[in-house]
Structure formats: structure tokens, C-alpha cells
Amino acid sequence: MVATAPDKTGGLSQAEYDRRLAEFEARIARGEKVEPADWMPDAYRNQLIRLIHVHANSEICGALPEGKWIPHAPTFKRKLALVAKVQDEVGHAQLLYRAAETLGPSREQMVEDLIAGRSKFSNVFHYPAETWADVATIAWLIDGAAIINQMMMSEGSYGPYARALKRICYEEAFHLKHGYEMCIALATGTKYQRDLLQDAMNRWWPPIMMFHGPSDKESTHTELLVKWGVKLKTNDEQRQQFLKQFVPKMIDLGIKVPDEGCRYDEATDTWLYTEPDWDEFKRVVRGGGPVTHERIETRRMAHEDGRWVREALAAAAAKRPVPMPPAS
Amino acid sequence: MTDTSNPTDTQWPVFEVFHQQARGEPHVHVGSVHATDPEMALLMAKEQFARRQACVNLWVVPASAITATKYEDDDIFEHGTDKSYRESWGYKTPKTIHVTKKESQQ
């Protein structure tokens, strides 16, 4: 037997593949959603699996820097809000893993891929949340940047992902509002509070500017993803929308935007900025961030700590003796 | 559906979740959860889908219990013949008929 190259048409004749592809693309062009049982090109399926998996991982890992701050929240009201936000983020991960599962991979496999460092998560969660102002900055600007991305993706062509994102955006609205309120409190507080906020902004600005991904000049295969309704705006368009929405508000709060090159250009109605260090971005998302190891290790410990619960539930379901929790 | 007798496997069965916002309203599909049994599925569904919006009742149904039509077979829903006689718009009636007026003229 002669080994054949991976089959682009998935075992179909070229004519049948072309017919199905035309039907698939026509459905998307009409604005209809693609559902799990529908035929789809492998490239579409694989791209969505990768995208939703990374998105789910990011929700889980995004809960970690904030979760660490729960015991240190400055007031009871802030603590309640933070607990609720962290619960939301973990819930979002579950919604997204479920959406990804409809395309093939199991949740079990995706959870293990994250722990083993085989799958990525958002660049911003590879950095530490050092002060309370970091918590405020994350909730305002990172959730704000994420909402821009998620609102866009909720109009995407894959039904289960779009539906999960509608729910997620609804919940994220509280995170954003609460984050803004926290930043206002710091920006209108004592000098110490204002300095704390500025310091957080200085450290978080570069990763936030990278959040929407590499510049369109460097990003490949965007055109096909736009055609297939996987991506509705380019990375630079999303970044521009973020700057338009948030920079005036930052200036309003007396925050100095930590980029000398950041200014509004009236002629083109765009915000100009210094191109972020994309080598840093690549290094970080490939596992070389300041706290990449800590994030994955925390996730692994949480997974291990819950093992006896999963075993007990499985034993009970199978009518076997339920094991005792380990002595702590 | 996966075998729950393997204690290391958390790939539990999927339950579809239906959410009712108020008594008298229909139960609406909102998503799905993994669980070992229906009770756990209800607990997961409550945490996942009833954190904010009003909810008076939840249903969980094993996904394996659902039998669905196929989208590629959606031509089964197409009508072979004109079914406008089933619709109110299939019947044209003028606003007024003037029967009384005509009769009075005779």
C-alpha cells in the first residue's frame, strides 16, 4: 500500500467536495448559522476548535489572577463582585468547552491539553496581577477588549459558539462596568491610589495592545476566515475600536496613556500607536510569559484537588462504593 | 455516551438544559452540561444558567434521549403542493361587501 497525502476533500470526490463547499459558503453568505451536524470543510472545523479551545482556556486562566485577589479585596462589596466575576469566568469556560466539544474534541482532552501546556491561552493572562489596581485595570480594559472581540464573534457563523457568546457578553457587561467603577474610585482617590492605577496601566498597556493578536500585516489567512464568518473584523480593526472606545475615557480619568506614539489622527479618524513587540507576544503565548508556569501549575493543582470528587461521583453513578476524600 | 464506571474519566454524559423564566412560559433550550446523573445535571444547570436571569423551573434531558431530524434532510418540511388553504392569508376578503345596500336598492 502506498501512503497518500492528507486528503483535502475528506474522502469526497473533488466534484462532491466543491458542491458541498459552495452550499456551505452560500449558507454563510445568507447569514445562516452552521450547526454541529452540518457538513463543513476540515479547515473550518479545525480553526474553530483551536479558536474556541484557546478562548475557553483563556476564561479559565483569566480567573486565576483575579481569584488570587479575592482574600485581599479592599471591601466586602468588592469581594462579592470579584467572587461573582471569577464564577462567571469559570462558567464561561464550561460553556466554551461545550461549544468546542460539538466539533469533536472531548472536554477531558481539552482540560488535559491545557495542563500539559499543549494548548494556548490569551497573552494577557501570562502576566502577574501585582496590585489591586491591576485587578481594576484587568476588569476594565481587558474585559473591555474581550467584549469587543466577543461581540464580534457572537455574530459569527458557527451556531453553538455564537449562542454561547451571546450569553457570555451579557454577563461580561457587569465585569466591564464594575471594572470602570473600580478605576474611577482609584483615579479620583488619594495620590497613592492614582499612582497605583498609573503604575498598573504602565505595566498592562503593552500586553493589552497585543490582546487582539498580531497586526494584519503579519497575520495570515485572515481572508478565508472572514469569508467563512469565523472572523468578522481584522485584529487591527478590533484594536482600533478598542482605542476609540477607551483612550478618551483613560484621558478623562487623568491616566497617562503609556505610549508616546498614541494620538488621534483627525485626517484619518484613527488612533495612531507604537506597534507592540510581536516577538514578545509570540514568546509569551508559546509558554514563555512571566507567570505561564504558575498559571498552568495552579490549574493542574485545582484539577488534582478535584480528582476525588470526580471519582466519588463516578463511583456513585456506577453504584460502586464511594471513596473517602483524602486526608488534608 | 461514555462509561461512568471508569473513575478517571470525567467525560460524563451530556444533559441538555431547558430554562423557564416564569410560570406559564415555555421551557427554552439554553445549553448543556456534563453530569453523572440527572440530579447532578440539575445542580450544574442551576449554577451555569440560573445565576442571574429569572428562573422558576429547569429541565435536564440526557442528550442521548433526543432524536432530531437532519438539516440536510430539511426538504421533508417543504410542501409538495400549494398549502395556502391552511393559512389565513390564503383567503381574500374585501373590507366591506355592501350586501345590505344592494338589497335595499332592489
Share of chain A above pLDDT 90, in %: 83
Any domain includes B86: no
Residue A237 lies in a domain: yes
Rounded to an integer, what distance in angstroms lies between the CA atom of residue A237 and that of residue A215? 10
| pLDDT score for B59 | 97
Q: Does A114 touch chain B (CB under 8 A)?
A: no
Q: How close, in Å, is residue A263 to chain B by CA atoms?
A: 40
Chain B CB contacts of A81 below 8 Å: none
Please indicate if any CB of chain B lies within 8 Å of the CB of A226.
no
Contact A108, B10 (CB under 8 A): yes
Q: Number of Cβ pairs closer than 8 Å across A and B?
A: 61
- Chain B CB within 8 Å of residue A50 CB: no
Identify whether A283 is part of a domain: no
Q: Give domain status of residue B38, yes or no.
A: yes
Q: Do B5 and A320 touch (CB under 8 A)?
A: yes
Q: pTM of the prediction?
A: 0.88
Query: Which residues of chain B does A37 touch, with a Cβ-Cβ cutoff of 8 Å?
Result: 68, 70-71
Task: Nearest chain A residue to B51 by CA: give it.
Answer: A88
Q: In terms of residue numbers, what domain contains A121?
A: 36-212+231-277
Residue A312, in any domain of the structure: no
The C-alpha cell of A170 is what? 451579557
- B17 beta partners: B31, B60
Cβ contacts of B4 on chain A, cutoff 8 Å: 314, 317-318
Give contacts of A315 with chain B, Cβ < 8 Å. 7
The string of pLDDT tens digits covering residues B11-29 is 899 999 999 999 999 999 9
- Residue at A175 is within a domain: yes
d(CA A189, CA A196): 10
Segment A47-51 shows an average pLDDT of 95
Q: State the smallest CA–CA distance between residue A313 and chain B in angstroms.
A: 7
For chain B, report the end-to-end CA distance as a whole number of angstroms.
Answer: 79
Do B7 and A310 count as a contact with CB atoms less than 8 A apart? yes
Task: Please tell me the distance from the alpha carbon of residue A185 to that of residue A249, in angstroms, as a whole number.
Answer: 14
Dihedral over Cα of A320, A324, B2, B5: its sign: negative
- Cell digits of residue B41: 445535571
Domain that holds residue B26: 14-67
Q: Evaluate whether A159 touches A34 at the Cβ level (below 8 Å).
A: yes
Give chain A's mean pLDDT: 92
Query: What does the alpha-carbon distance between residue A256 and residue A239 come to, in Å, rounded to a whole number?
Result: 18
Residue A7 is assigned to a structural domain of this protein: no
Q: Once rounded to an integer, what is the mean pLDDT over residues A13-17?
A: 92
Would the CB atoms of B10 and A108 count as touching at under 8 Å? yes
In a domain, A202, yes or no: yes
Whether A98 and B33 lie within 8 Å, measured CB to CB: yes
Does B69 reach chain A within 8 Å, measured CB to CB? no
Contact A97, A104 (CB under 8 A): no
Domain count, chain B: 1
Going B24 to B26 to B30 to B34, the CA torsion angle's sign is positive
B7: chain A residues, CB-CB within 8 Å: 310-311, 314-315
Per-position DSSP letters for B58-81, written without gaps between them: EEEEEGGG-----GGGGGGGS-SS
In a domain, residue B101? The reply is no
> For position A7, what pLDDT does the model report?
61
Any chain A CB within 8 A of the CB of B32?
yes
Q: Is A274 left (phi over 0), alpha (psi -120 to 50) or beta?
A: beta
CA distances from A148 to A15, A152, A154, A158, A274 (A): 39, 6, 10, 18, 21
Q: Is the pLDDT of residue B6 over 90?
A: no
Q: Which chain B residues are closer than 8 Å to A39 by Cβ?
A: 72
User: What CATH number has the domain bearing residue B29?
Assistant: 3.10.20.520
Q: By CB neighbour count within 10 A (0-12 exposed, 13-18 middle, 19+ buried), where does A35 fall?
A: middle
The domain that contains A236 carries what CATH number?
Answer: 1.20.1260.10
Structural domain includes residue B24: yes
pLDDT bin (cut points 50, 70, 90) of residue B7 is very low
Query: Cβ separation of A316 and B36 shorter than 8 Å?
Result: yes
Confidence of residue A3 (pLDDT cuts 50, 70, 90): very low
Convert the pLDDT of each residue in B39-73 to its tens digit.
999 999 999 999 888 999 999 999 999 999 988 78
Looking at residue A48, what is its pLDDT? 96
Residue B100 lies in a domain: no
Look at chain A and report how many structural domains it folds into.
1
Partner residue opposite A313 with nearest CB, options B31, B36, B51 = B36
